[in-house]
Structure 1
Amino acid sequence: MKNSNRLNIFTWHIHGSYLYYLSQGDFNIYIPVKENKEEGYYGRGETFPFNDNVIEVESGDVRFLQLDCILFQTNANYLVDQYEILSEEQRKLPRIYLEHDPPLKQPADTRHIMNDPDVCLVHVTHYNKLMWDNGVPMVSVIEHGITSSPATYSGHLNKGIVVINHLYQRGRKLGADIYDEVRKQVPLDLIGMGTEAYGGLGEVLHPDIPAFIGQYRFFFNPIRYTSLGLSFLEAMMMGLPVVALATTEYSTVIENEKNGFVHTDIDYLVDKMKLLLDEPPLAEKIGLAGKQTVEQKYNINRFTKDWETLFHFVIDNTKSSNHEKKISIY
């Protein structure tokens, strides 16, 4: 039975950390489950401490749910999954496509796969929105939001930490070559799924990451081309000074020498890593400034309010039969 006091949102479990932060909003999130646990059908899992508003539903029972909005997160969700598990009536509900990534092949000339003018396209950074050829009238940006961390920064390990899953399988885009180059000059540890075979420390579960990385002097992000990483913001939230390439959205978040270090010159970044290793008080000062940046710009209250506002906008807009009244929300 539908809860009349809260919106009922249906989506797939795609990015666990993003789903966790989204679930901090005042709405119910239904996610499908399949026995084989294929992508998007994992259910709640055991990694994230989801609240009761994240509700598992067997995939075959999804068509019987009373929902307010459908949230797509991948091409497969939009092109395949919706036709397999949603009813015809549910496929006419208010719909949002949440795009997590920038275009991967031709950044300035890639048309987004979702081309339905009745569906709202949401990006997680302004850079992503800028680079996609969006092609639909309703386009929005909801920047990340994260919760505060109970863990504290100590920085007592005189080395840097890198957090990337399957780094070497993902190659140059994720900066595997940059990581290899930098670790010859600066002591670095690597955590993430699939990293043990390459000298990394393996996976650290998401709830344990803040306390683990808080021991390190700085956080290094070698990624050339991706969205603004949640792990990067989580590091900043706990006061861990950050070093990154000045690409995609990172150059708009970090102000050099104040709340972190960003550059496209790897030698510059290496020099700043060495500076942080040599001067712990400077690392603490820059980390504190980074924490203040995230608290102001990426706080969870702003994030969930943005989502609640968008859900209501799309729902109200869909109720109108006059499609010409739809407005762009760039």
Structure 2
Amino acid sequence: MSPLRILTWQTPDSYLYYLSQLPHQFHVITDAAQLRGQRSRRLNGDNVHPLSAEQARHEQFDCILFQQPCQYLEEQYLYLNAAQRQLPRIYLEHSSPGEHPTDMRHPVDDPSVLLVHVTAFNELMWDNGRQATRVIEYGAMPAPDVQYSGERPCGLVLGHPREQQGRRLGGDIYRRLGNSVPLEWTGTMTEVPSGDGESIRHQLPVLAAQCRFLFHSDRYNSLNLAVIEAMMIGMPIIGLATGEMASVIQNGVSGYVDTNLQRLETHMQELLDDPHYAYALGRGAQRRARERFGMHRFLADWCAVLKLVTGKAA
């Protein structure tokens, strides 16, 4: 069967990279600045095609994949014609509810749209209303030719300075533990900006792999894909036992999760003092990531969902 023509949007880049491993053609609404550079380096893959918003209504697609509220609530009416808006549609929800942890209604209110959550925690916390839902957990691949060394006695914290100021993402925790434990913040595991604003995939893991452990400081965020990418290269994880993290990290096997910051600080110091122990936990994290978040399962789940909504076997 011919590959499906799927219209989606550019965000988030890491997820799109893994999604594009499917045997389908992805047409990605892309802003003008990136179109001027023709094929953005973020949209790597011969089956990923940047598309201007003005072009979208003149193309033919088999499925529409929304990933943000503005795309579903506004942009489909601005950029798509009436026939396209009747195509099989999926809304991919990446985040936990932001306004209220348990009582926030999901913006999609249309039984003809399939709501796909990236974690079971997200599906649990959202008020999904009358929507049919599915959970497709993350899939990831280890960065090529990158292995954890942990040679630097410090912890890596994902995020950016502005993000680290908020309590939801644990800015206060980062500052508090940073007074006694060497912690460094950075961007995502697979993308780092270059001088021209583009994103260079797989450069950051080389630097990240040198840190002793990764610290997931988010109080209320289901699961960061970058945590899985770190596990894939054999990096031990320390984090709060909140969201989906509690089901991903097994204490003493792949890292440590807890809600007691004093205990987390103790575990951090253990890894800083004993690089061999950190390496052993990293191997456990790698095994866990490959078993649960391998690409074979991820792609099979997506093929099943696409077959469900379009009636076409991949």
Common topology (TM > 0.5): yes
Structure 2 partner of 1:271 = 266
Aligned to 1:54: 48
SS of the residue corresponding to residue 172 of structure 1 reads coil
Which residue of 2 is the match for residue 25 of structure 1?
A: 22
**Quick check: 2:105–2:126 contact (8 Å CA) kept in 1?**
yes
Structure 1 residue 42: deviation in Å?
9.9
- Distance (whole Å) between structure 1 residues aligned to residue 236 and residue 164 of structure 2: 27
2:217 corresponds in structure 1 to 222
Alignment: residue pair count: 302
| Gap regions ≥5 residues in structure 1 | 194-202, 318-330
2:257 counterpart residue number: 262
Moved over 6 A (4+): none
Q: For residue 28 of structure 1, what is the amino acid of its counterpart?
A: Q
SS of the residue 2:111 aligns to: coil
2:212/2:278 contact within 8 Å kept: yes
**Alpha-carbon offset, residue 58 of structure 1:** 2.2
Amino acid at match of 2:237: V
Residue 144 of structure 1, aligned match among 91, 114, 138 = 138
Distance 1:312 1:37, change over 3 A: same
Query: Does residue 130 of structure 2 align to residue 133 of structure 1?
Result: no
Shift of 1:207: 1.8
Counterpart residue type for residue 175 of structure 1: G
What is the SS of the residue equivalent to 2:129? coil
Unaligned stretches of 5+ in structure 2? 189-197
Are the structure 2 counterparts of residues 73 and 235 from structure 1 closer, same or farther at C-alpha, using a change threshold of 3 Å? same
- Residue 81 (structure 1) aligned to one of 75, 80, 84: 75
Residues 94-116 of structure 1, C-alpha deviation per residue, up to 9 Å, x if partnerless?
00011111111222111111000
Aligned mates of 1:66, 1:34 — CA distance in 2: 20
Which stretch shows the higher mean deviation, 57-66 or 136-145? 57-66
Report the counterpart of residue 234 of structure 2 in structure 1: 239
Q: CA 1:126 to 1:308, structure 2 compared with 1: closer, same or farther past 3 Å?
A: same
Deviations 1:246-288 (A, max 9, x none): 0000000011111110000011110000000111111011000
Which of 178, 183, 186 aligns to 1:183? It is: 178
Structure 1 distance, partners of 2:257, 2:158, is 17
- Between the aligned partners of 1:256 and 1:110, the Cα distance in structure 2 is 32
Tell which deviates more after alignment, 241-250 or 149-158. 149-158
Secondary structure in structure 2 of the residue aligned to 1:153: coil
Q: Distance in 1 between matches of 2:203 and 2:231?
A: 16
How far 1:23 moved relative to its partner? 0.6
Seen in structure 2, the aligned counterparts of structure 1 residues 87 and 80 have a Cα distance that, compared at 3 Å, is same
Matched, 1:115 2:109: yes
Indicate conservation of the 8 Å contact 1:32/1:43, yes or no: no
Call closer, same or farther: CA 1:187–1:34 in 2, change over 3 Å: closer
Cα distance between partner residues in 2 of 1:9 and 1:166? 35
Name the SS for the 2:288 alignment partner: helix
Distance change >3 Å, CA 95–CA 248, structure 1 → 2 = same
Give how far 1:44 is off.
5.4
State the Cα deviation string for residues 97-150 of structure 1 (Å, max 9, x = none).
111111112221111110001100010000000011101341000000001222
Give 1:304's aligned residue.
299
CA RMSD between the two structures = 2.1
Deviation at 1:54, TM superposition (A): 0.4
> Is 1:12 aligned to 2:6, yes or no?
no
Task: Show the counterpart of 1:209.
Answer: 204
Could you tell me how far apart the structure 2 residues matched to 1:22 and 1:170 are?
31
Check conservation: 2:232, 2:285, Cα contact below 8 A.
yes
